[in-house]
């Protein structure tokens, strides 16, 4: 009974405090898988864990894909590009909670721990949850890349790489590389509650974790001892609302202040609503249709070009994306540096397409188009898109059959050698580096099993350019190389590039200071609510 | 009138005459239930709509008019008589889609009920007839299936088989089978004790003959009622699966699938959400009303109204 | 009743319970086999799904599969699963890596709260309506209520829920759009039932908020059970009222109300209670749809999401737990039926 009374009065006290405090409510689109950023890959999970609670050695400058110092104040790169020495920030305080109070500031031990537990199978925390895997760490090729992470002194850490990697600084700004507290890990070890690293997170970030009601609500409170600019709002709440129509209703009703991923059909209504405003930006993504360049007649670039010219891209953008996208001409989006603006897109010209097909000796072509069964950020409705393509191609005498598989099977089968047909898919960038798009999706290395080059396209010149761009750290040199690569891509046309979907973020008029991230991150330390 | 003497022997009615009499008796009781008659009329209209869909529908259900996206119904501003009930997000005529959707619903109902009926009867006959451990095992399996909530089981089955109309129908049929099996088994078991069965056995009738020609016809009444119930449930469940994305896939104009596609327009375009649901409701209601009437008519002793 | 007869009665009861429990064992095993095999034949490799567009090398794939135990023979995997199940270990979610049991317990109260409210609503409205309809058989009340019940029974509840949301939340603004309680209220989770916890917290307005959030989902979920209960009650009442002993009581001159209250109702309740109990299975199925529409954080929605994500351990254990639940409720209904039905009780 007494505990109940204590709890009740504590709760009352809390409400009394929060009554005057600024509380920001974000209607998120998914439940977080967990609060330790390392084992997971979903953007929604990172919005709930990595961005509010943690920091990384380097961070992306808010609203851009430029890298700036984070927990590392400065760094030096060796001549050959394989040694990175980071000078760590001093005086950074860790969060505390009911069961843990830190006795020391952030230092090199935390950095070593954060990387070692992911990369080193011998580390006692490597499998702190049975069956755990560090997907991002492995897929960004960190195990092959990182030779060693050494502590030089309490505030200096040296990373030695196996080969030079220009995107490295961008990679370690990614959520999986969040720095966790070694002291907290040790305390949990002693208490026998290791899983709390994932349930009750302790970080250095602008917000402290308070509570999570599964699939319903996440609560954070401002970290008043934050090393950077402290947040303006006092309390942050994530109201988990998976349905886009419901999110909008809540936004309109004032139940939340900001929401992600509105349904394209609602964009107009949001624009005209006097109480709401809409931020928009081209997303760091691309949707494409990849031909099988090893299958005749798609091995002929002229045929691929002709098919590209037969499809009405703008109609797809209108009907499927409801105008909420930019028609794509390059494999990387315009918000990415080294985007080649000078390249001209294939015109929509069914007559010319027909002529080109005839010239190439292609008559009575039937082909398959694969359509995804699920909605993705770069493609709201693959089925509808495929239907539009089917109609367009029928106009030039090509008979299209639309096929689909269950999502996991789709991903697997689309990479099987000898796949029949053109596959629709897409990609969302991880770190704002062109290599993250081009190498992963179009290089020779990626054209086999385990890769993601669904066009099975292997162009020696193209891949060589990518390899060169990866090792040099000079941005100007890299830009030139990538621009040239895009020219080759356009000539060879292994894909029909569909669109870069626009990111929209509707919010209440009272909200100010929200910075849209090209990577699709949602961060709230800069937002303010007017009364 | 000829002066015929009273015939000493009772008049023997032919089989056909017996059947005719049973039918007219049945119709008499059925007619008394007004709701059932209305249900029958609506159902017949539904069947006709489905059969004559290509003639009735003004447009092809999958043709897209990209210039007429999300047009409201004709009585609202912005609507036109070209699209009586408006269009959906890709410019397809709602009325045509609804009409063709009737084909899907009827097809689903018939297929599901057929599979469940045939399978359930076969299983029930075997269980009831052979008894003993065969019966035990079969009934346990039926119990296991019945322990899972029907929609959940159907959902997992469809996930296993892959989303699509055929698989949805198979999944639902499997889930409904135990009902028919149980009914058949119960009826068989009670019939087995009757004298006419013993008589037939003595006369030398083999097992199969007994099962199908002797016993089954007498168990039909409850089976028919259950079939009607399952028909309407099948329409509902397949619409639910379609709504969850596991049933008929777009662009099929199945009513549940149409609702799934329409969910994002709930605030903007109410007609895309309202009409398919209304269609489902009306069809299921009609069939249920008919089912009620059937049940009352087939077994007047249990008459409720 | 003599002590001997009482003890004999108890013994009979015990034997009844035991026999029913024993009967459950093979059924339970059957359920585990089905839950296990379905999930194993679900197409869609969870490893691939986790990798997404990125793809995964064959070595990595083998490594991950081995880690998850998918390389052993299916039979071995089944016995592994059964053994761990008996120890209470339901595995870990592939998505969140957390124990399935923990996730289930975190979400279960929400579904139970919704289900209880729904069945309460259905019973409190359905039974009186059914009784009244039976008494006033043929009247306009009877016709209207039974037609409404039939409509309710035929209702696609996912559409019904959407309509109610459009009307009550969208147009009228009377009910909130989603969630279990307004975000303004934060109190510790004592029982997991929002209605109880909000009262315990003592915060003014919290309980009202919880109720307001529960109304629409409960109404939607209660629709079909309400219709069934109303119809069944009416049938049961009519059947009982037509029985000889009721007519005898009437003929003897007992007032109608007494006849109904004492005799008819009590005996009609037997099949009605069975019906109410059997609605649990319907409630679970309905919960899946209702929770999806209202974003209600319960196990129905959890199951759907897990099936879509091929979260094998969750689908498997979820199926199992739900089926076990239905089985237990059916058992309780069976026992209650045995208890209150004098014909069985005194066999």
DSSP state string for B229-281 = HHHHHHHHHHHHHHHTTSSSPTTS--HHHHHHHHGGGTTT-HHHHHHHHHHHH
A437 touches A286 (CB < 8 A): yes
Q: Does residue C112 carry a pLDDT above 70?
A: yes
> Pairing between strand A422-428 and A366-370?
parallel
B34 touches B302 (CB < 8 A): no
Residue among A483, A377, A475, A503 nearest A63 (CA): A503
Q: What are phi and psi of C336, to 5 degrees?
A: -60, -45
| Residue pLDDT, tens place only, A315-349 | 999 888 888 899 999 999 988 888 999 999 999 99
Average pLDDT for residues A156-167, to the nearest whole number?
92
Average pLDDT for residues A111-139, to the nearest whole number?
87
| Residue pLDDT, tens place only, C142-178 | 889 999 999 999 999 989 998 888 888 877 878 887 7
Query: Which tokens in the block code for residue B111?
Result: 């297929």
Number of A–B residue contacts, CB under 8 Å: 43
Cα–Cα distance, A115 to A177 (Å, whole number): 7
Lowest-pLDDT range of A513-527, B157-171, C43-57: C43-57
- Burial code of B19-53, b = ≥16 C-beta within 10 A, e = fewer? eeeeeeeeeebbeebebbeebbebbeebeebbeeb
Q: Does residue A9 carry a pLDDT above 60?
A: no
SS3 state of residue A149: strand
Lowest-pLDDT range of B166-180, C258-272, C288-302: C258-272
Cα–Cα distance, A331 to A437 (Å, whole number): 8
Q: Does residue A242 carry a pLDDT above 80?
A: yes
Average pLDDT for residues A263-284, to the nearest whole number?
88
Q: What are phi and psi of B117, to 5 degrees?
A: -65, -55
The percent of residues above 90 in pLDDT, for chain C, comes to 15
Cβ–Cβ gap C150/B35 under 8 Å: yes
Cβ–Cβ gap A409/C43 under 8 Å: yes
Average pLDDT for residues B174-185, to the nearest whole number?
88
pLDDT band at C116 (very low <50, low <70, confident <90, very high): very high
pLDDT band at C236 (very low <50, low <70, confident <90, very high): confident
| Residue pLDDT, tens place only, B186-234 | 888 777 777 777 777 777 766 666 667 766 676 777 888 889 989 999 9
A134 touches A206 (CB < 8 A): no
pLDDT for the residue A15: 47
* Helix or strand run (H / E) with residue A210: strand A207-213
* Helix or strand run (H / E) with residue C292: helix C265-294
Instruction: Output DSSP code: residue C264.
Output: I
Pick B281 or B6 by higher pLDDT: B281
pLDDT for the residue A17: 44
Cβ–Cβ gap B148/C326 under 8 Å: yes
In sequence order, which residues have a C-beta less than 8 Å from that of residue A414 and are 6 or more positions away?
Answer: A370, A423, A425, A454
Average pLDDT for residues C176-197, to the nearest whole number?
83
**Distance of residue A34 Cα from the nearest chain C Cα, in angstroms:** 6
Handedness of CA A26, A32, A36, A39 (dihedral sign): negative
Pick A368 or C75 by higher pLDDT: A368
Instruction: Output DSSP code: residue A92.
Output: P
Pick C246 or C291 by higher pLDDT: C291
Cα–Cα distance, B20 to B17 (Å, whole number): 5
Q: Does residue B109 carry a pLDDT above 60?
A: yes
Q: Please, is A417 exposed, middle or buried when counting C-beta atoms within 10 Å of its C-beta (0-12, 13-18, 19+)? A: exposed
Instruction: Output DSSP code: residue C168.
Output: I
Chain C residues with CB under 8 Å of A14 CB are 186
pLDDT for the residue A430: 84
pLDDT for the residue C263: 67
Lowest-pLDDT range of A2-6, A508-512, C337-341: A2-6
Query: Which tokens in the block code for residue A449?
Result: 């099993």
| C-alpha distances out from residue B182 to B118, B125, B141, B185, C152, Å | 13, 9, 11, 5, 26
The percent of residues above 70 in pLDDT, for chain C, comes to 83
Pick A299 or C262 by higher pLDDT: A299
Q: Does residue C344 carry a pLDDT above 60?
A: no
| C-alpha distances out from residue C77 to C40, C74, C309, Å | 10, 5, 21
| Residue pLDDT, tens place only, B76-86 | 888 888 888 88
The region, left, alpha or beta by phi > 0 then psi within -120 to 50, assigned to residue A296 is: beta
Q: Please, is C344 exposed, middle or buried when counting C-beta atoms within 10 Å of its C-beta (0-12, 13-18, 19+)? A: middle
Average pLDDT for residues A23-48, to the nearest whole number?
91
> Which of C79-82's residues contact partners 24+ apart within 8 Å by CB, and which partners?
C81/C32, C81/C36, C81/C316, C82/C32, C82/C36
Lowest-pLDDT range of A28-42, A299-313, B102-116, C11-25: C11-25
In sequence order, which residues have a C-beta less than 8 Å from that of residue B116 and are 6 or more positions away?
Answer: B173, B174, B176, B177, B179, B180, B230
Q: Does residue A113 carry a pLDDT above 90?
A: yes
pLDDT band at A116 (very low <50, low <70, confident <90, very high): very high
Q: Which of C39, C162, C235 sits opposite B266 (nearest CB)?
A: C162
Query: Which tokens in the block code for residue A8?
Result: 């009740």
Averaged confidence pLDDT in chain B: 81
Interfacial C residues in 159-218 facing B (CB < 8 Å): 159-160, 162-163, 165-166, 170
Omega before C290 within 30 of 0, i.e. cis: no
Strands annotated E in A223-344? 235-240, 276-282, 285-290, 325-327
Q: A327 pairs with which residues across the strands?
A: A499
Residue among A229, A193, A172 nearest A50 (CA): A172
Q: Does residue A54 carry a pLDDT above 90?
A: yes
Pick A189 or B125 by higher pLDDT: A189
Q: Does residue A200 carry a pLDDT above 90?
A: yes
pTM score above 0.90: no
Q: Which residue has the tokens 């889930």?
A: B175
Q: At what angle do helices B15-32 and B270-298 cross, to 10 degrees?
A: 130
A319 touches chain B (CB under 8 A): yes
Query: Which tokens in the block code for residue C141?
Result: 């009340």
pLDDT for the residue C113: 93
Chain A residues with CB under 8 Å of B244 CB are none
Instruction: Output DSSP code: residue C20.
Output: H
**Distance of residue C151 Cα from the nearest chain B Cα, in angstroms:** 6
How many residues comprise chain A?
531
Cα–Cα distance, A118 to A143 (Å, whole number): 9
Q: What are phi and psi of A160, to 5 degrees?
A: -110, 125
Cβ–Cβ gap C151/B285 under 8 Å: yes
Interfacial C residues in 237-296 facing B (CB < 8 Å): 238, 281-282, 284-285, 288-289, 292
pLDDT for the residue A278: 94
Q: Does residue A287 carry a pLDDT above 90?
A: yes
pLDDT for the residue C168: 87
Omega before B251 within 30 of 0, i.e. cis: yes
Cα–Cα distance, B163 to C197 (Å, whole number): 41
Q: Does residue A277 carry a pLDDT above 90?
A: yes
Q: Does residue A226 carry a pLDDT above 90?
A: yes
Pick B283 or B191 by higher pLDDT: B283
Cα–Cα distance, A415 to C52 (Å, whole number): 12
Q: Does residue C63 carry a pLDDT above 90?
A: no
pLDDT for the residue A235: 94
Averaged confidence pLDDT in chain A: 89
Cβ–Cβ gap C60/A450 under 8 Å: yes
SS3 state of residue C13: helix
Residue among C69, C127, C79 nearest C260 (CA): C127
Average pLDDT for residues C10-25, to the nearest whole number?
76
The region, left, alpha or beta by phi > 0 then psi within -120 to 50, assigned to residue A349 is: beta
Q: Which residue has the tokens 């409904």?
A: B176
**Which chains share 3+ C-beta pairs under 8 angstroms with C?**
A, B
Lowest-pLDDT range of A92-106, B163-177, B260-274: B260-274
Cβ–Cβ gap A245/B263 under 8 Å: yes
Q: Does residue A148 carry a pLDDT above 70?
A: yes
**Which chains share 3+ C-beta pairs under 8 angstroms with A?**
B, C
Per-residue DSSP letters for chain B? ---PPPPSSPPPPPHHHHHHHHHHHHHHHHHH-HHHHHHHHHHHHHHHHHHTHHHH-SS-TT---TTSTTPPPTTSTT-BTTBTT-B-TTS-BHHHHHHHHHHHHHHHHHHHHHHHHHHHHHHHHHHHHH-HHHHHHHHHHHHHHHHS-HHHHHHHHHHHH-SSHHHHHHHHHHHHHHHHHHHHHHHHHHHHTSHHHHHHHHTT--HHHIIIIIIGGGGHHHHHHHHHHHHHHHHHHHHHHHHTTSSSPTTS--HHHHHHHHGGGTTT-HHHHHHHHHHHHHHHHHHHHHHHHHHHHH-GGG---
Cβ–Cβ gap C285/B285 under 8 Å: no
Cβ–Cβ gap B273/C166 under 8 Å: yes
């Amino acid at each position: 009974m007494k505990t109940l009374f204590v709890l009740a009065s504590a709760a009352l006290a809390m409400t009394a405090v929060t009554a005057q405090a600024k509380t920001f409510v974000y209607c998120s689109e998914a439940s977080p898988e967990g609060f330790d950023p390392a084992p997971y890959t979903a953007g929604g999970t990172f919005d709930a864990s990595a961005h509010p609670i943690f920091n990384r050695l380097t961070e992306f400058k808010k609203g851009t894909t430029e890298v700036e110092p984070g927990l590392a104040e400065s760094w030096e790169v060796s001549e050959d590009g394989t040694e990175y020495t980071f000078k760590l920030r001093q005086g950074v305080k860790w969060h505390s909670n009911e069961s843990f109070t830190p006795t020391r500031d952030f230092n090199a031990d935390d950095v070593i721990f954060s990387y070692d537990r992911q990369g080193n199978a011998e580390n006692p925390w490597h499998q702190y949850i049975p069956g755990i895997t560090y997907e991002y760490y492995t897929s960004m090729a960190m195990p092959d890349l990182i030779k060693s992470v050494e502590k030089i002194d309490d505030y200096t850490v040296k990373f030695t790489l196996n080969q030079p990697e220009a995107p490295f600084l961008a990679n370690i700004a990614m959520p999986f590389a969040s720095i966790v507290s070694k002291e907290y890990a040790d305390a949990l070890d002693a208490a026998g509650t290791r899983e709390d690293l994932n349930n009750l997170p302790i970080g250095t970030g602008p917000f402290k974790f308070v509570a999570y009601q599964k699939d319903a609500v996440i609560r954070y409170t401002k970290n008043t001892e934050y090393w950077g600019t402290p947040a303006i709002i006092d309390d942050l709440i994530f109201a988990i609302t998976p349905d886009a129509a419901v999110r909008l209703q809540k936004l309109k009703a004032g139940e939340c202040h900001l929401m992600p991923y509105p349904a394209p059909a609602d964009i107009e209504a949001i624009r005209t609503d006097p109480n709401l405003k809409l931020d928009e930006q081209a997303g760091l993504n691309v949707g494409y249709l990849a031909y099988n360049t090893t299958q005749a007649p798609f091995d002929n670039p002229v045929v691929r070009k002709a098919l590209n010219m037969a499809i009405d891209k703008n109609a797809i953008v209108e009907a499927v994306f409801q105008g909420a996208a930019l028609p794509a001409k390059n494999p990387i989006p315009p918000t990415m540096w080294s985007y080649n603006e000078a390249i001209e897109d294939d015109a929509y010209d069914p007559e010319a397409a027909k002529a080109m097909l005839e010239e190439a000796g292609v008559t009575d072509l039937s082909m398959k188009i694969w359509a995804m069964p699920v909605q993705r950020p770069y493609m709201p409705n693959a089925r509808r898109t495929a239907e539009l393509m089917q109609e367009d191609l029928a106009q030039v005498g090509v008979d299209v059959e639309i096929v689909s598989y269950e999502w996991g099977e789709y991903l697997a089968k689309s990479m099987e050698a000898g796949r029949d047909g053109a596959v629709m898919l897409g990609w969302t960038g991880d770190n704002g580096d062109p290599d993250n798009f081009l190498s992963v999706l179009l290089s020779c290395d990626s054209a086999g099993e385990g890769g993601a080059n669904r066009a099975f396209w292997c162009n020696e010149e193209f891949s060589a350019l990518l390899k060169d761009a990866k090792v040099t750290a000079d941005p100007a040199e890299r830009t030139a190389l990538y621009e040239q690569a895009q020219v080759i891509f356009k000539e060879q046309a292994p894909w029909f590039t569909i669109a870069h979907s626009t990111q929209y973020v509707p919010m209440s008029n009272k909200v100010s200071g929200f910075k849209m991230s090209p990577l699709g991150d949602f961060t709230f330390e800069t937002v303010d609510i007017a009364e | 009138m000829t002066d015929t003497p009273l015939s000493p022997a009772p008049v023997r009615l032919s089989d056909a005459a017996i059947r005719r009499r049973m039918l007219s008796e049945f119709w008499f009781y059925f007619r008394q239930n007004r709701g059932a008659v209305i249900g029958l009329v609506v159902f017949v209209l539904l069947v006709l709509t489905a059969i004559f869909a290509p003639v009735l529908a003004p447009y092809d259900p999958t043709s897209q008019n990209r210039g007429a996206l999300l047009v409201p119904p004709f009585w609202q501003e912005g609507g036109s008589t070209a699209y009586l009930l408006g269009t959906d997000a890709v410019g397809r005529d709602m009325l045509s889609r609804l009409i063709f959707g009737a084909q899907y619903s009827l097809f689903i109902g018939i297929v599901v009920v057929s599979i469940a009926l045939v399978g359930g009867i076969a299983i029930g006959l075997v269980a009831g007839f052979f008894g003993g451990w065969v019966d035990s095992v079969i009934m346990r399996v039926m119990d296991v299936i019945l322990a899972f909530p029907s929609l959940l089981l159907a959902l997992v089955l469809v996930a296993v088989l892959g989303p699509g109309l055929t698989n949805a129908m198979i999944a639902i049929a499997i889930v409904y089978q135990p009902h028919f099996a149980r009914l058949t088994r119960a009826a068989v078991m009670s019939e087995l004790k009757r004298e006419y069965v013993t008589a037939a056995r003595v006369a030398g009738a083999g097992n199969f003959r007994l099962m199908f020609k002797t016993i089954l016809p007498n168990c039909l009444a409850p089976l028919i009622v259950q079939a009607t119930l399952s028909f309407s449930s099948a329409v509902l469940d397949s619409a639910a699966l379609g709504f969850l994305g596991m049933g008929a896939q777009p662009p099929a104009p199945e009513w549940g699938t149409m609702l799934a596609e329409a969910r994002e327009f709930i605030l903007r375009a109410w007609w895309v959400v309202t009409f398919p649901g209304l269609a489902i409701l009306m069809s299921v209601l009609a069939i249920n009303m008919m089912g009620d009437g059937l049940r009352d008519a087939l077994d007047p002793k249990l008459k409720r109204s | 009743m003599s002590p001997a007869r009482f003890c004999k009665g108890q013994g009979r009861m015990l034997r009844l319970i035991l026999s029913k429990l024993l009967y459950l064992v093979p059924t339970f095993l059957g359920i585990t086999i089905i839950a296990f095999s379905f999930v194993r034949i679900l197409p869609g490799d969870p490893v691939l799904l986790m990798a997404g567009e990125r793809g995964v090398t064959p070595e990595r794939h083998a490594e991950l599969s081995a880690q998850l135990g998918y390389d052993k023979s299916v039979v071995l995997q089944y016995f592994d699963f059964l053994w761990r199940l008996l120890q209470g270990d339901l595995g870990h979610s592939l998505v969140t890596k957390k124990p399935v049991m923990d996730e289930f317990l975190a979400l279960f109260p929400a579904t139970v709260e919704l289900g209880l409210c729904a069945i309460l609503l259905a019973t409190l409205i359905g039974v009186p309506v059914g009784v009244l309809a039976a008494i006033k058989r043929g009247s306009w009340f009877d016709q209207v209520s039974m037609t409404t019940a039939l409509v309710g029974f035929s209702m696609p509840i996912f559409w019904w829920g959407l309509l109610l949301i459009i009307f009550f939340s969208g147009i009228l603004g009377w009910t909130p759009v989603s969630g279990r309680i307004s975000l303004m209220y934060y109190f510790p989770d004592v029982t997991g039932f929002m209605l109880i916890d909000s009262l315990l917290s003592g915060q003014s307005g919290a309980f009202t908020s919880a109720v307001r959030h529960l109304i629409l989902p409960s109404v939607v979920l209660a629709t079909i059970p309400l219709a069934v209960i109303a119809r069944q009650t009416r049938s049961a009442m009519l059947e009982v009222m037509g029985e000889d002993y009721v007519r005898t009581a009437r003929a003897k001159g007992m007032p109608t109300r007494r006849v109904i209250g004492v005799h008819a109702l009590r005996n009609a309740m037997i099949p009605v209670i069975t019906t109410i109990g059997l609605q649990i299975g319907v409630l679970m199925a309905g919960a899946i749809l209702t929770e999806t529409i209202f974003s209600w954080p319960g196990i129905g929605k959890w199951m759907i999401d897990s099936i879509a994500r091929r979260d094998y351990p969750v689908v498997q254990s979820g199926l199992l737990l739900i089926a076990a639940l239905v089985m237990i409720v059916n058992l309780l209904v069976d026992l209650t039926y045995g208890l209150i039905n004098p014909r069985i009780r005194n066999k």
